[in-house]
Structure 1
Amino acid sequence: MANSLPHPATLIHAKRLHQETGFLKSRLMSMDAYRGFVMLLMAGELLHFSELHDAFPTSVFWAFLAYQQSHVDWAGCSLHDLIQPSFSFLVGVALPYSMASRSMQGGSIRSQFGHALRRSLILVVLGIFLRSIHSTQTNFTFEDTLTQIGLGYPFLFLLGTTAPRTQWFALAGILVGYWLAFVLYPASATTFNNYASVGVPATWTHHYTGLAAHFNKNSNLAWAFDTWFLNLFPRPTLFLFNRGGYVTLSFIPTLGTMLLGLQAGQWLRAEQPDRAIIRQLLIAGAGSLALGLVLHLTGICPIVKRIWTPAWTLFSGGCCFAFMAFFYALIDVAKRRSWAFFLTVIGLNSIAIYCLVELISPFITNSFYIHLGHGPFLVFGPAFEPLLAGAATLGTFYLILLWMYRRKLFIRI
């Protein structure tokens, strides 16, 4: 009889599995898995595919991975370019769930808006802090993912309290208004002749002519705004340009990306068949992609992530709809969840992994070298050392997140 009793370790494992399953079922797991996928792409920079491409320049495989792990120079899109819009899109998806949860707990719209303002402030401050860790003083910059979401989040919340029709009108107003503001600003092709002064090399091949010239790098409306706005803050030197062409005003069309996510979140929460939800997501994705491409190909508005053009909002939003449909269909509808556990662990602590990568990546990698030396990372030759060291660092971060997950420790803002 005694031998038929299950081992205590088996009971503990079964209890833990039951708790984890119950916890995951109480959430839209596809949203967490998608967020985990996005954060994995971000943290994947630690794998240094570009260095392997440099070591093996004729390899199509490493060239492909290096391209997908880098931002395109100006117009176009890589998988890496979809990290920020996906993260922004998922903020919109999560909002209806967050508002419903707080309402069930008795939270008024006024108190929820107060929370939205606090969350906005924390995101902006955290973004500035993370961008200042290698500076001699506070680096007041507002173009990174956290600050962009923070700047737009209060407006997203207010629009989340309105009817879907109002939200669609707001989206149209944001995209048309942002485009119009750019095209009314003098085009660089007729007013700008010193690109070297704004960090654009003479060999730059991405200049546009015609209507699209209003969206050229470091010679557009948003760049002009930053040469005024960013110099209002203490700086070691006068701000003249951002080397990547990124701009503060991108938070306006980023709000458009979050509004697309808000629509997806409202559809996912609606009481309708799963097939109908998936169909809505796919139709919205195809429509957004097509419209973005039409604007780009006709020269009306190029697809440029760095200044978040309206065409980029639509194109990247279409990709986000498609990703959301894929994860939702596979995980929440088909119930194929076991494979996504790895991503879910990351997605449930997205702020934690973001901060870990930004703050202590060099420390973790150097610790491996200090205590293990370079030998274990040279097993496949010097070319693969950055990949293996990065994988070890990434694995360490995952173990930290898994430990946090086991103990239900989730960083929320």
Structure 2
Amino acid sequence: MSKAITTDRLISLDALRGFVMFWIMSGEHIMHALAKAVPIPVFIWMSSQLHHAEWNGITFYDMIFPIFLFVAGVSMPYSFEKKMNLAGVKTPRELPSKEKKKIYRSMLKRTCILLFLGFVVNGLLRFDGFDQTRFASVLGRIGLAWFFAGLIYLNFNLKSQLLWFTGILAGYYLAMKFIPVPDFGAGVLTKEGSLEGYIDRLFLPGRLHSTVYDPEGLFSTIPAVATALLGVFLGTFLKTNNHFSSGNKLAVMILAAIVLIGIGVIWDYDFPINKHLWTSSFVCFVGGFSILFFTFFYLVIDLLGFHKWAFPLLLIGSNSILIYIAAEGLVDFAHTAQYLFGGIIKFTPLIWQPVFTALSITFVQLLLLYFLYKKRWFLKV
């Protein structure tokens, strides 16, 4: 735990991180219960958006993970700023090799911690046996994608970073479309027939999430690096283009988002938007929406100064890894909520009880996060 929170980053980053994490920790359960209690079209639609697409296609829930990874990328230029200032350089490429080695060690340590925490979330400490342990994880992918995006950011200029981004997406597309899979051939983008699934079955140890493939598998982590790089590009743009007015910055971000969404839609015809495979079209499409979400939070919070409304999101965003791990099973929030509010909830109409139960769980989670925030305790990975 760390007793200090970084102050040199955008407040909107923590708010956006908290917004997407809210739906994972308990927000989805509130909306599903609300859609059953009040089955009006808007609630039913919102509830439907809080499920993953079965295969091809996209829902809001499919965007949560890449937005979180995108935000990690936006943070990168800000997190390295202090080191660059101390070294008296303007770009990370100019950092002395001794300083870079320190950064590499720190990055590798962070990645290893995230990999281990991912194993824990997957049940490593249940000791079910090597073959029953799932080694791929959300936290592991965040760590790996952030690490390799960081290596690219530290060692290449912006033009070369853009070439890396393009090369990753194009290379992944060509590999998935043209490298044949035994018994299936090339370009079969199904769970069993995709190159991504084949590589998982061949090289990923332990248990796969979906038997024949893993949505956080080995090969599909490569395009996730491009998702992190998109965040790096945005963070770099905000930091280095101080001669741009706020209005011009917003215009550039919105234009970039529209272009990326357009590329994703067009590419979808040949390489379907698919979160499970983390396709190149998925990276572009969700990358565009990630920029739009960030633009809204950046405008309202950082530019216009309206941030009081976002305080609950800041509580979540400032301890997002901790609440993710806790909500994934390490802490029984439902038991605590039932102990505190179960008696009261029993007196509410039966149809509303699941709604109030879900709200009580969120309240308990926010109480924990508020306590940690007031104590200045943050899980810093």
TM interval, shorter chain, is 0.7 to 0.9
Q: Does the C-alpha gap of structure 1 residues 229 and 25 become closer, same or farther in structure 2, counting only changes over 3 Å?
A: closer
- Give the direction of change, closer, same or farther, for the CA distance of 1:39–1:282 in structure 2 (3 Å limit): same
Instruction: State yes or no: 1:149 paired with 2:142.
Output: yes
Matched with 1:9 is none
1:323 is matched with: 293
Deviations 1:171-190 (A, max 9, x none): 011001001111113479x8
8 Å Cα contact 2:30/2:359 also seen in 1: no
3-state DSSP of counterpart to 2:309: helix
1:412 aligns with 2:369: no
Equivalences for residues 294-309 of structure 1 within 5 A? 294-296=266-268, 299-309=269-279
Q: Determine helix, strand or coil for the equivalent of 1:249.
A: coil
Provide the C-alpha distance between the structure 1 equivalents of 2:118 and 2:151, rounded to a whole number of angstroms: 22
Alignment-derived partner of residue 384 in structure 1: 352
1:353 aligns with 2:326: no
* In the alignment, structure 1 residue 65 sits paired with structure 2 residue 46: yes
Give the CA RMSD over aligned residues.
2.8
Identity %: 27
Alignment of 1:240-279 (within 5 A): 240-242=211-213, 247-270=217-240, 271-272=242-243, 273-279=245-251
Could you tell me which residue of structure 1 aligns to residue 264 of structure 2? 292
SS of equivalent residue, structure 2 residue 220: helix
What is residue 195 of structure 1 aligned with on the other side?
A: none
CA pair 375-65 structure 1, distance change in 2 beyond 3 A: farther
After TM superposition, the score normalised by the length of structure 1 is 0.80
State the AA in 2 paired with 1:146.
L
Q: Which residue of 2 aligns with 1:123?
A: 114
- The number of residues matched between the two structures is 362
Matched with 1:30 is 12
CA distance in 1, matches of 2:198, 2:210: 11
Asked if 1:365 is matched to 2:365, the reply is no
| Counterpart position of 1:17 | none
Query: In 1, Cα distance between the equivalents of 2:263 and 2:280?
Result: 10
Pair 1:249–1:380, CA change in 2 (3 A): farther
Quick one: distance in 2 between partners of 1:86 and 1:55? 30
Distance 1:163 1:86 in 2: 24
Query: In the alignment, does 2:127 pair up with 1:108?
Result: no
Distance 1:179 1:290, change over 3 A: same
Letter of the 2:61 counterpart:
H
Q: 1:333 to 1:153 in 2, by over 3 A?
A: same
Conservation of the 8 A alpha-carbon contact between 2:134 and 2:209: no
1:226 and 2:208 equivalent?
no
Could you list the runs of 5+ residues in structure 1 that have no partner in the other structure? 1-22, 193-210
Unaligned runs of 5+ in 2: 88-97
Alpha-carbon contact 1:46-1:390 (below 8 Å) kept: no
Q: Which residue pairs with 2:168 in the alignment?
A: 174
Equivalent position SS for 1:219: coil
Partner of 2:128: 136
Bigger relative contact order, structure 1 or 2, given CA contacts below 8 A and separation 6+?
2
Give the secondary-structure state (helix, strand or coil) at the position aligned to 2:63: helix
Moved more, 339-348 or 173-182: 339-348
Secondary structure at 2:16 match in 1: helix
CA distance in 2, matches of 1:318, 1:115: 30
- Per the TM alignment, residue 367 of structure 1 is displaced from its structure 2 partner at its CA by 3.3
